[in-house]
Amino acid sequence: MAWSIKNMTRNRLIGAVIGGGLVAVLGAAWIIIYAGAYNIAADAPHTGPVYWLLKTVRERSILVRSADIPVPTDLGLEPRVASGAALYKEMCTACHLAPGTEKTELSQGLYPPAPALRDSKLSAEQQFWVIKHGIKMSAMPAWGVTHNDKLIWDMVAFLRKLPSLTPAEYERLSKLAPDHDDAMKGMNMDGAMPSPTTH
Ligand code: HEC
């Protein structure tokens, strides 16, 4: 009996210490956040732990969510690659650049930076998912809001070819686009994206 009362008191004490510690940690975190202590500026890189956390969340989220997406078997066909090249030139180069092009003012100010996609380590289904849905808290837009899956796969088809393309081949392909009316359906005359409700 005496033993079990002692035991209960000890358990209560441990509970109080853990609970108190948790409240103190959350309170301190809130004060740090509320005081604006974390610099959200794009010209100041993340601290190591925050960078690790965001990178891991992004990688796991993309991996898990794209796992069951079936990849079309015709991504190697030239019309698909050409359509993707034209779309890429139109919509992606300001941030991701292209074979033979210089850095843009836009690309240099991005944080996280837009990676050179010829070095992408992502699989086709992961690239499809990222292009369709975009990435929160980065400049990567969700192109699925304005483009159907076929056009997004065309862009993936182009990205799979990109590592082996010379600037001249890139130029040739991007001018070869078969029927570009389809691809441009989501764009205004000046190239700006309309609101998603227009189609
Ligand atoms: C306004 C700038 C911007 C534009 C335009 C843009 N992207 Fe991105 N994109 C980004 C940024 C920034 C990232 C990195 C996000 C991150 O690291 O969390 C990214 C990431 C990606 C990735 C994942 C890269 C990897 O391998 O890890 C793919 C694929 C991609 N973009 C494709 C495209 C395509 C295709 C287009 C055009 C249809 C496009 N992006 C247009 C900014 C942009």
pLDDT in tens, 141-173: 999 999 999 999 999 999 999 999 999 999 999
User: Whole-model pTM?
Assistant: 0.84
Q: Is 104 in the pocket of ligand 1 (CB under 6 A)?
A: no
CA of 11 to the centre of ligand 1 (A): 52
Kindly list the domain boundaries of the chain, sorted by start residue: 48-198
Compute the distance between CA of residue 104 and CA of residue 38 in angstroms, rounded to an integer.
28
Q: Is 92 in the pocket of ligand 1 (CB under 6 A)?
A: yes
Extract the tokens encoding 158: 């182009």
Q: Is 122 in the pocket of ligand 1 (CB under 6 A)?
A: yes
CA of 1 to the centre of ligand 1 (A): 66
Tell me how far CA of residue 95 lies from CA of 9, 98, 144, 151, in angstroms.
61, 9, 18, 19
Residue of the CA atom closest to atom 36 of ligand 1? 92
Kindly report whether the peptide bond that precedes residue 112 is cis, defined as omega within 30 degrees of 0: yes
What does the pLDDT read at residue 8?
81
For 123-145, what is the mean pLDDT? 97
For 136-141, what is the mean pLDDT? 96
Count CB neighbours of 72 within 10 A: 15
**Residue with more model confidence, 181 or 76:** 76
Q: Is 152 in the pocket of ligand 1 (CB under 6 A)?
A: no
Per-residue model confidence as pLDDT tens digits over 74-86:
999 999 999 999 9
Q: What 3-state DSSP class applies to 143?
A: helix
Q: Which ranges in 35-148 belong to alpha helices (H)?
A: 48-66, 78-91, 93-96, 105-108, 124-133
